[in-house]
Amino acid sequence: MPRLGNELDPDIERAVYALISERIETDSPDVREIRMGLLADFKKKNKSLGYGHVTTKVVRYNTLPDFLQIAGINVAEMYKLVGVDICWGNPLAAKFCRNCSSLSQETLTKVKKLIFDISPPYWHSTDVRSMVPKDRVYLILQKRYSVAERRVVASDISPAVANFWVDRKKGTNIPYCEYPAIANKFDLSLHWLLGLDAPKFNQSSLVPLPGAKHPCTILCDTVEQETILNAFLFLSDELRESLSATLEELIEMGVKP
């Protein structure tokens, strides 16, 4: 059952809280103390987010990086906790991302600039970067499909997305678990669709715990690679192929860290 507003699904929230409790039990005393401190702070900061006078522990999208940082997991692992496996929807994107991780930092920065220069500007405009996930789904449905097609496409993905499309003007939310399927259907990056490219969402304000992954990564190793992948998936097929071939050749030529 999706919640209203920009709130995380209760199933996911429950699973992550359970994981945090489990980790607190198994942690070494030093780490346990830090983790418990972070959790207490997090609950204290977010206690007013409940409905009316009831104080609940609702997690909103903008506090998700902090929440995952406390658990020491990233978005992909969060999905795994509730039985949603995230896989590469596009084989070329998987290859491209693998190649990106073999490049030096300097080359990677140049690749990022190149892709941003040739990709359409709308997806990283200021307006879009401040959009929440469901608004991004709405934007893509509007941009890519005609009025007649939108309802059909939404129904193809899942009943929850179809419901969102029908009730879109009443503020119906899309359950967080549905986004991987939507990203695959649109052939877009899940990172972009979840709004993790927005400056205030793409990193946690908390100090990382030992062994914790970056909370805002999904299929790539770093946030920079995720950002490059976001741009890559907004390119046309021809450009994707030529860029992928370029990276392969660069690696063959030995441009490595």
Partner 1 sequence: MSGPYYDTKSLMSIQDDCERYATSVKLFDETRRITAQDVSSDFKARGLVLRSTSEKIGTSPTGLMKALKSNLGMPVDALALFAALYFSKSTHEMMFGESAVTVLPKHLGYVAKYISEADTSTVNALYGKVVDIVKDDYLKGPASTMKVPELIRNRLAEVAGDQNVPPAMLFGPNSPGALKTTVKKYFVTEDHVGNLNTLMYFAMSLGTSLDYFCVNDYTAMTTIGYRSKNRIVPVTNQIAVDFIRKYLRLSPERKSEILKTVWLSKLEMSA
- Count of chain residues binding partner 1 (CB under 8 A): 32
Stretch that binds partner 1, among 11-19, 28-36, 77-85, 142-150 (CB under 8 A): 142-150
Decide whether 85 or 238 has the Cβ nearer to partner 1: 238
Residue from 107, 155, 163, 184 in contact with partner 1 (CB under 8 A): 107
Whole-number Å distance between alpha carbons of 180 and 184: 6
Q: Per CB under 8 A, does 173 bind partner 1?
A: no
Q: Which of 5, 122, 166, 200 binds partner 1 (CB under 8 A)?
A: 122
> Which listed range, 1-9, 30-38, 62-70, 137-145, lies at the site for partner 1 (CB under 8 A)?
137-145
Q: How far is CA 130 from CA 28, 85, 136, 191, 251, in A?
A: 39, 27, 10, 14, 36
Least Å distance, CB 142 to partner 1, is: 5
Query: C-beta of 114: minimal distance to partner 1 in Å?
Result: 6
Q: Any contact of residue 117 with partner 1 (CB under 8 A)?
A: yes
110 is an interface residue for partner 1 by CB under 8 A: yes
Of the candidate spans 22-30, 52-60, 69-77, 109-117, the one that interacts with partner 1 by CB under 8 A turns out to be 109-117
**Measured from the CB atom, is 147 or 207 closer to partner 1?**
147
Binds partner 1 by CB under 8 A, chosen from 10, 27, 57, 145: 145
> Nearest approach, Cβ of 1 to partner 1 (angstroms)?
30
Pick from 15, 39, 111, 182: which binds partner 1 (CB under 8 A)? 111
Which of 84, 114, 177, 209: binder of partner 1 (CB under 8 A)? 114
DSSP string of the chain, one letter each residue:
-PPSSSB--HHHHHHHHHHHHHHHHHS-HHHHHHHHHHHHHHHHHTGGGSSTT------BGGGHHHHHHHHT--HHHHHHHTT-----S-HHHHHHHHHHHTS-HHHHHHHHHHHHHHS-GGGGSHHHHT--HHHHHHHHHHHHS-HHHHHHHHHHH-HHHHHHHHTGGGTPPPPGGGHHHHHHHHT--HHHHTTTTSTTTSS-SSPPPTTPPPTT-SSSSSHHHHHHHHHHTTS-HHHHHHHHHHHHHHHHTT---
Binding interface with partner 1 (CB under 8 A):
104, 106-107, 110-111, 114, 117-120, 122-123, 142-147, 234-236, 238-239, 241-243, 245-246, 249-250, 253, 255
